[in-house]
């Protein structure tokens, strides 16, 4: 929560979803307080939209060693974000969560940021 008592949240998505996703599903769910956002009060602030930094083939360093991810996590904390929702794009074709997203979620939780897996229904 901010000093005004407002909840600040963010959304994490897969960088590869940029090819086909406008984030309309996530933003509509937040703006209309549906699906995974249904319990948030009207004054909740969507402060962060971020992506992972890519798969192992493109970025061999794990998220714990990826300076770009660590900078993003620092910024999230500075912004006062307390909850990150993870988009449905975190799931691979076999419906398992991407290992990179899982590790980023662990890093967020280690920093005291709550992780909610979901934004809108598929």
| 114-117 β-sheet, strand order | 45-51, 8-13, 83-86, 114-117
Q: Is residue 92 a contact partner of residue 60, using CB atoms and an 8 Å limit?
A: no
More confident residue, 22 or 70: 70
Task: Say how many CA atoms lie within 13 Å of 14 toward its Cβ.
Answer: 21
CA distance between the termini of the chain: 29
| Residues whose CB is less than 8 angstroms from the CB of residue 29 and which lie 6 or more positions away in sequence, other chains included | 35, 36, 37, 119, 120
Note the pLDDT of residue 121. 83
- Mean pLDDT for the chain? 92
| Residues whose CB is less than 8 angstroms from the CB of residue 26 and which lie 6 or more positions away in sequence, other chains included | 11, 13, 85, 87, 119, 120
More confident residue, 83 or 57: 83
Note the pLDDT of residue 2. 54
The pLDDT tens digits for 2-50 are 556 799 999 999 998 888 888 999 999 999 999 999 999 999 999 999 9
């Amino acid at each position: 929560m901010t000093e005004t008592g407002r909840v600040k949240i963010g959304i994490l998505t897969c960088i590869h979803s940029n090819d086909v996703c406008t984030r309309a599903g996530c933003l509509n769910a937040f703006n209309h307080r549906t699906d995974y956002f249904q319990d948030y009060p009207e004054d909740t602030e969507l402060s962060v939209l971020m992506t992972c930094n890519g798969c192992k083939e493109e970025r061999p360093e794990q998220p714990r060693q990826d300076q770009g991810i660590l900078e993003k996590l620092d910024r999230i904390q500075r912004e006062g974000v307390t909850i990150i929702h993870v988009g449905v794009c975190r799931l691979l074709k076999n419906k398992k969560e991407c290992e990179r997203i899982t590790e980023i979620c662990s890093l967020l939780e280690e920093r005291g940021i709550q992780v909610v897996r979901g934004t809108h229904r598929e």
